[in-house]
Structure 1
Amino acid sequence: MTRRPGTPPLPRLTVDGAHVPPSHLARLATRTARELAATGARPGRAAALACDHPLTAVVTALAADAVGAPLLLDGPAPARRIAPAAVVRTSTSGEPVVTGTRARPLDLPEETAAVFWTSGSSGDPKAVAVSAAALAHQGLATAARMGVTAGDRLLLPLPLRHAYGHSVLRVWRSTGAQLYAESGFHLRGLLSRLATEGITSLDGVPTMYRMLAAEAVRDPETARLLAGPRIRGCGGDVLTPALYGDFLTATGAPLHDGYGLSEAGPNVALNAPGDLCPGTVGRPLDGVRARVTGPAREIEIDSPSLMLGYLDPVRGTLDRTAFTPDGWLRTGDTGALTADGRLTVGGRVKEVLVVHGETVAPALVEDAVRTAAGVADAAVVGVRQGDRGDTVWAFVESPDGDPAAVAGRVTAACRHRLPPHVRPRTVRVMTALPRTSTGKHDRVRLRAWAAADRLAAAA
């Protein structure tokens, strides 16, 4: 693969424990770039990554960049949602396989370098178009905030098709660090990498860290290994105070959370080693500004990493209605800025509960629910009752075989920790909460279940 002037050499890569020689990575990237170009992938004509294999994902990102083709990422079937010039899948050996498409490719704005899909946790997923400059700034600014250098070893058990995983890929490319990309989260495999590879940075989502904290309680060696990395990044969903405290108690080491969204790069603010403030999501990255506006206290962002706009998957046009007249992004999240410039996040504007005229963040109720014995996770939604505000429903994930007993303990915990009007009126216990492809609670489905149950009860 011919590198652009000034582009650093290919960094070091290990996939599922197997080292990938730089020469082999370069050959794969060169071959894939040639095959992408042969299908017509170029600026404005996209290549769709249709698999999660780490090697294929890395090579496809390098190859798409080499030919200037937008890279379509995420979504259950990206090749069917936005017509690409090429689709990249993986072979049995994990290497990329490029195929052309018969349908006419969608013409994207030529400045588009990648397209992510939002999780759809609170509405329909949207296609987010970002530029090469935005991706480059994101990698450099994130690396600078977290202090990542070429000497670091980054362990990533997350899909590279999602904005969070792809942001780590950008850090890897901008610093020359060694990346340990995993096909998924496997507890024993992750602990083995921590024990043998000198890992300095681990990234994961709250559900992963919840399992790791539980294992650390049972096994002192697990606790020691988890305390080893300098960075334990946690993203993809809200890091609750309860999980932060549980992990810290179990390992003696903090989690480094932050705030981000696909539309903003994704990283906006991060809690970094040596600059950590629990209860906040840290300071905005260099070059990023945040403000809080309006009665809902909505967070708005100005950043070099902002999206170009939402991409219409049929017409290829950009929708910029999420931007203010002066060019700031309306995030849809509530929050506040502390006196020393740190950001706090309350939740989605559309998910805020309104109970007896008072606005309540679902996370406040969820934290109380999670304190009940037998509760592995919880998600709270509101069902609007005309002009009377929201009725609070708690959906509880529990391995306990006695749902009635779990529900009773949840009710008791909420009675102890919450004022009467905020307590859940209904507690529904299940073995697993529904989640989106990025691991977030699927609140659209939960809200629909609650509404259906309410209608059934009224019939």
Structure 2
Amino acid sequence: MTPRPGALRLPRLTVDGERVPRAHLARLVARTTRELAAAGAGPGRAAALACDHPLTAVVAVLAAEAAGAPLLLDGPAPARRIAPAALVHAGRSGDPVVAGATARPLDVPEETAAVFWTSGSSGDPKAVAVPTAALAHQGGATAARMCVTADDRLLLPLPLRHAYGHSVLGVWRATGAHLYAESGFRLRGLLSRLAAEGITSLDGVPTMYRVLAAEAAKDPGAARLLRALRVRGCGGDVLTPALYDDFLAATGAPLHDGYGLSEAGPNVALSAPEVLRPGTVGRLLDGVRVRLAGPDREIQVDSPSLMLGYLDPATGALDRGAFTPDGWLRTGDTGAVTADGWLTVGGRVKEVLVVHGETVAPTVVEDAVRAADGVVDAAVVGVRRGDRGDRGDSVWAFVESPEADRATVAVRVTEACRRRLPPHARPRSVRVVAALPRTGSGKFDRVRLRAWASDATAAAA
């Protein structure tokens, strides 16, 4: 049944600085719900969010839920996408527009509420099917950890199609806080919003916080605005110790990171203003359990927020291969956990480097590389040559720099690593590029970087 606009209980929403009246938002949701149902979207027949406009994204989430339709969020190349019953995209005014499917929609399990695509940074992207109960638990548990109430003002300059941004939307709905959704990160716009709107919580990715730390280091006003926030959430990728220290030094306030993955809802553990232990990714959320398995001490998770499985784009069948026989999720990450639930993450099982028998975390090398002048960002991967397999990985550093003299930047990187790293951890090759390749969620595309390194290794052989 289509909800009446007045029957919807909608929290406060501002999009790109423009307040969206609750009555207007309710009308958009009711209209979009009717249009989704008319296009054939409903239980087992998905709607797809085909844009990143914040207003359209919010309406699509609410309308798909009202129609009982799974919502497809993000996606890889068109050939791999799941066929929906309807698509939701933004019209010229930013209001949602519903279009019917041009192909026969795929039948998906009816308990599916949302489908997120993993980034594919360490392999082929996968479609993560998440049930309604998982999303509800995630929103409530995250809000409880961060102590968010209806009095909070949440600034979100991240896409709502990705699991991180979507999780903030869940907190908004669970608490009635005021959400300030932005089309993207713009430094001056973000600082203006902090100054004018009384924002209490900001969420962003490490690359955003690097820019903010640099600005705060030279502008006391920016540092003051960032310090005034109650929550400075950092997710979507690894928060390195160097970035944590740089931001703290520039602002006098810490970042609040955590650990999660789309398959787990996404949040598994979170730091918060009163729940903060440097060197960890925070404490496990309520209801979440973690165990460490095998010689690599792989993190395995049991949680009410777990996915149903990976959805086959061709058949709609669920693949449960990521789960153990007793139902725990294999994360592919290494780590440690204390008896009282504080979690430390070492890195991806497949990304930990082994050089001459010594293990090397890519993030440690990346922090050393970033210390060199002229370096904007860095990504480190390992390549193993067949004729040198006994020596382990050859460490490659890919460096993002705007400087034209790339050879000079590479020399600076080599010197910085010589000062900060033991010999076995120093990059054997340094490649300077104008921009590092990234996935749709902003993470380094390590698959492409490994291919670059492998191609260069093969050419030099």
Q: TM-score, normalised on structure 2?
A: 0.97
Give structure 2 stretches of 5+ with no counterpart.
none
Is residue 49–residue 78 contact of structure 1 (8 Å, CA) maintained in 2? no
Cα deviations by residue, 1:273-316 (Å, 9 ceiling, x for unpaired):
11111110000100001111111111000000000000000000
Please name the residue that 2:437 is paired with.
434
| Contact 1:50/1:78 (8 A) holds in 2 | no
Relative to structure 1, the CA distance from residue 230 to residue 248 in structure 2 (aligned partners, 3 Å threshold; closer, same or farther) is same
Structure 1 residue 446, shift from structure 2 partner: 0.4
Indicate the residue corresponding to 1:375 in structure 2: 375
**Corresponding residue number in structure 2 for 1:453:** 456
Do the aligned residues in 2 keep the contact of 1:72 with 1:78 (CA within 8 Å)? Answer: no
Residue in 2 that maps onto 1:399: 402
Query: In 2, are the aligned partners of 1:3 and 1:66 still within 8 Å (CA)?
Result: no
User: Contact conserved, 1:48 with 1:78, CA < 8 A, in 2?
Assistant: no
In the alignment, the residues of structure 1 paired with residue 9 and residue 39 of structure 2 have an alpha-carbon distance, to the nearest angstrom, of 27
Q: Is the 8 A contact 2:49 2:73 kept in 1?
A: yes
Number of the residue aligned with 1:43 = 43
User: Which residue number corresponds to residue 427 of structure 2?
Assistant: 424
Q: Provide the residue aligned with 1:9 in structure 2.
A: 9
Q: For residue 183 of structure 2, what is the aligned residue in structure 1? A: 183
Amino acid at match of 2:457: R
Amino acid at match of 1:385: R
Residue in structure 2 matched with residue 71 of structure 1 by the alignment: 71
TM-score (ref. length: structure 1): 0.97
Give the Cα separation in 1 of the matches to 2:56 and 2:85: 17
| Aligned twin of 2:138 | 138
Q: Distance in 2 between matches of 1:354 and 1:326?
A: 31
Q: Which SS does the other structure have where 2:257 is aligned? A: strand
Shift of 1:341: 2.3
Is residue 2:267 matched to residue 1:264? no
Give SS of 2:253's match. Answer: coil
Name whichever of 216-225 and 254-263 sits farther off: 216-225
In the aligned structure 2, how far is the partner of 1:48 from the partner of 1:79?
A: 15
Give the share of equivalent positions with the same residue, in percent: 79
SS at match of 1:344: strand
Aligned-pair Cα RMSD in Å: 1.4
Aligned counterparts of 1:399 and 1:31: Cα–Cα separation in 2: 47
User: 1:13·1:180 contact (CA, 8 Å) conserved in 2?
Assistant: yes
Aligned to 2:81: 81
TM-fit CA distance, 1:77 = 5.7
- Give, in whole Å, the separation in 2 of the partners of 1:8 and 1:29: 9
Alignment of 1:212-361 (within 5 A): 212-361=212-361
CA distance in 2, matches of 1:25, 1:11: 10
Structure 1 residue ranges (4+ consecutive) displaced by more than 6 angstroms after TM superposition:
none
Moved more, 40-49 or 220-229: 220-229
For 2:58, the equivalent position in structure 1 comes to 58
Residue 328 of structure 1: how far off its partner (Å): 0.4
CA distance in 2, matches of 1:277, 1:78: 43
Measured in 1, the distance between the counterparts of 2:436 and 2:196 equals 34
* 1:3 CA drift (Å): 7.5
Between 106-115 and 380-389, report the one with greater CA deviation. Answer: 380-389
For the residue of structure 2 that corresponds to 1:227, the secondary structure is helix
The answer to whether 1:410 aligns with 2:419 is: no
